Amino acid sequence: MARESESGTPIEPVYGPEALKGWEADERLGAPGVYPYTRGVYPTMYTGRPWTMRQYAGFGTAAESNARYKQLIANGTMGLSVAFDLPTQMGHDSDAPLAQGEVGKVGVAIDSIDDMRVLFGGIPLDKVSTSMTINAPAALLLLLYQLVAEEQGVPADKLTGTIQNDVLKEYIARGTYIFPPKPSLRLIADIFKYCRAEIPRWNTISISGYHMAEAGATPAQEIAFTLADGIQYVRTAVAAGMDVDDFAPRLSFFFVSRTTILEEVAKFRAARRIWARVMQEEFGAKNPKSLMLRFHTQTAGVQLTAQQPEVNLVRVAIQGLGAVLGGTQSLHTNSYDEAIALPTDKSARLALRTQQVLAYETDVTATVDPFAGSYVVESLTDDVERAALELMEQVEERGGAVEAIEQGYQKMEIERSAYRQALATDAGERVVVGVNRYQLDEEEPYEPLRVDPAIEVQQVERLRVLRAERDQAAVDAALAELRTAAEGQDANVLYPMKEALRARATVGEVCNLLREVWGAYVPSERF
């Protein structure tokens, strides 16, 4: 049903020449919801319902994060997005020497099922969609989530959400890896198989370009290296004996949205088109859902400034608009104070309200793919696609994503781009409002949210109590079963891993066992 403009004229759900007769036959453009999905993966997009509004949150203890999640849900958040602290991301318990000073700082500390139980206490897991930004230990956090759901009486086939689970980009741009690439890919294939059998509605991976962009990647580099990683994951799963249509519909992607709206819209449209063709032509996917590049977007944290932080409200609104115009399936809008510290309750609420204004006060949700047919956007889409394909060919010539990573190719290309951007900013050629132009003589005072250092002491004490109370014989037996599975090649490690976590083995204990079996990744000194 068409909406009306403020002037009373109808806004059609879809626009195109002669009601799309010409475009439906154009395989480069097509109609919305039609291969190659340039105009969006669904025929109606936001004219039926808006994107999922997620807010990335997590800090300190599980109890503190639980309170923040409940506030976000009360304010209208449609999906939770969990941030974990650095020790959790690296597979270390809060009492590990390497965790000192980092517990609860950039996310919530999760050491065991006890913490996960508190994190989601009072939150009905069959009613919310949960995204977890976790990579190397993604299997552990997913299993802990499933165990908590079981305690709530929620069957696994009712759970919806996403684990990021994209370890290849960690070697390229982010650094929170644990194991070498080969066993990491084996673990990812096991996750694909496990979720197909046990948690069928779960998105098993969110192949991420966001962190590459934060490290300095251009839009073309962002989608090229992300899609190349996606190809590697699909090849791994197929080599493990899976049919592409058994797992590809649950693949998802994660991109940034910068303030450069036109190129960002073109980037999203080009990425959909490339992925659809790769899945059809290389892998022979038959299920249309296997061809659809569905993605989550986060506004560009790297573009936020500590100077005049209120200006970030404007940046985030523009970035969010670009994501929506580009057809994202879900969106997180950054809080304006994130360049200084963890977001306050007020700034997190304002970030969510930004999405709600876009969804309900603008007319961008009234029609599908508002920029389709724009001379500049169509031309930019072709340009970004061409540049991305050239970079993907460079990856292929080096033997694929893993081999290119081991040669340092993607990392070096991104670093060159970051250096060029830094030079342009320093020279004033790239304007950053409040930083190299329109500065204030004196910044206004701001009181940031800070994590209480006592949290680390509390987490260490929780671990001491856990180890004293649990059935250690049961933990040892479960970990022995996990070791046997990890040492072999055929067993799916998630099943014994789940039993170890049920017995209250800690995240660090499980990861340390796998480090012993699989080794730990050490980057080459050449890069």
20 part of a folded domain: no
Residues 141 and 191 in one domain: yes
CA neighbours closer than 13 Å in the CB half-sphere of residue 439: 9
34 part of a folded domain: no
State the pLDDT at residue 17. 66
Q: Is residue 90 over pLDDT 90?
A: yes
Q: Is residue 488 over pLDDT 60?
A: yes
Please choose, from the candidates 266, 290, 233, the residue with its C-alpha nearest in 3D space to the C-alpha of residue 383: 266
Q: Is residue 22 over pLDDT 60?
A: no
State the pLDDT at residue 351. 95
State the pLDDT at residue 18. 53
pLDDT band at 80 (very low <50, low <70, confident <90, very high): confident
Please write the tens of the pLDDT for every residue from 265-308.
999 999 999 999 999 999 999 999 999 999 999 999 999 999 99
Q: Quote the percentage of the chain above a pLDDT of 70.
A: 97
Residues 514 and 389 in one domain: no
pLDDT band at 344 (very low <50, low <70, confident <90, very high): confident
State the pLDDT at residue 27. 65
Distance CA 424, CA 49 (A): 41
Residues 492 and 389 in one domain: no
60 part of a folded domain: yes
Structure pTM?
0.93
**Which pair of structure tokens corresponds to residue 408?**
């340092």
319 part of a folded domain: yes
Segment 175-196 mean pLDDT: 97
**Which pair of structure tokens corresponds to residue 48?**
């039926």
Residues 255 and 361 in one domain: yes
State the pLDDT at residue 347. 92
Q: Quote the percentage of the chain above a pLDDT of 90.
A: 85
CA distances from 435 to 106, 113, 215, 417 (A): 25, 44, 19, 20
Number of other residues whose CB lies within 10 A of the CB of residue 19: 12
3-state SS, 95-117, equals CCHHHCCCCCCCCECCCCHHHHH
**Which pair of structure tokens corresponds to residue 345?**
């309750």
Residues 349 and 466 in one domain: no
Q: Is residue 311 over pLDDT 70?
A: yes
Q: Give the alpha-carbon dihedral of 315, 316, 322, 328, to 10 degrees.
A: 160
Residue 60 region by backbone torsions, left for phi larger than 0, else alpha for psi between -120 and 50, else beta: left
State the pLDDT at residue 450. 76
149 part of a folded domain: yes
**Which pair of structure tokens corresponds to residue 193?**
């198989």
Residues 410 and 477 in one domain: no
Distance CA 258, CA 299 (A): 6
Cβ burial, residue 375 (10 Å; 0-12/13-18/19+): exposed
Segment 477-488 mean pLDDT: 98
Helix (H, G, I), strand (E, B) or coil at 154: coil
State the pLDDT at residue 343. 86
Q: Which of 371, 403, 426 is the last residue of a domain?
A: 426
State the pLDDT at residue 29. 75
Report the CATH number that the domain containing residue 66 is assigned in CATH.
Answer: 3.20.20.240
486 part of a folded domain: yes
Q: Is residue 176 over pLDDT 70?
A: yes
Distance CA 345, CA 337 (A): 11
Please choose, from the candidates 480, 426, 514, 501, the residue with its C-alpha nearest in 3D space to the C-alpha of residue 141: 501
Distance CA 139, CA 497 (A): 8
Q: Which residue has 């453009």 as its token pair?
A: 29
Distance CA 474, CA 504 (A): 9
State the pLDDT at residue 446. 76
Q: Which comes out higher in pLDDT, residue 503 or 79?
A: 503
Q: Is residue 20 over pLDDT 60?
A: no
Residues 402 and 492 in one domain: no
Pairing of β 10-11 and β 3-4: antiparallel
Residues 422 and 470 in one domain: no
Cβ burial, residue 405 (10 Å; 0-12/13-18/19+): buried
Residue 400 pairs with which residues in a beta bridge? Answer: none
Segment 201-207 mean pLDDT: 96
471 part of a folded domain: yes
Distance CA 252, CA 516 (A): 31
Helix (H, G, I), strand (E, B) or coil at 4: strand
Cβ burial, residue 427 (10 Å; 0-12/13-18/19+): exposed
Mean of all residue pLDDT scores within the chain:
94
Please write the tens of the pLDDT for every residue from 381-406.
999 999 999 999 999 999 999 999 99
Q: Which of 426, 452, 480 is the last residue of a domain?
A: 426
445 part of a folded domain: no
CA distances from 39 to 61, 164, 367 (A): 42, 25, 11
State the pLDDT at residue 442. 86
Distance CA 362, CA 65 (A): 32
504 is in which domain, residue-wise? 461-518
Residues 299 and 154 in one domain: yes
Angle at 9 between CA 6 and CA 13, to 5 degrees: 100
Cβ(244)–Cβ(193) under 8 Å? no
Please write the tens of the pLDDT for every residue from 353-376.
999 999 999 999 999 999 998 999
pLDDT band at 16 (very low <50, low <70, confident <90, very high): confident
Residues 299 and 380 in one domain: yes
Residues 496 and 397 in one domain: no
Total domains in the chain come to 2
CA distances from 314 to 26, 299, 305, 324 (A): 37, 12, 12, 16
pLDDT band at 431 (very low <50, low <70, confident <90, very high): very high
Residues 234 and 348 in one domain: yes
State the pLDDT at residue 526. 60
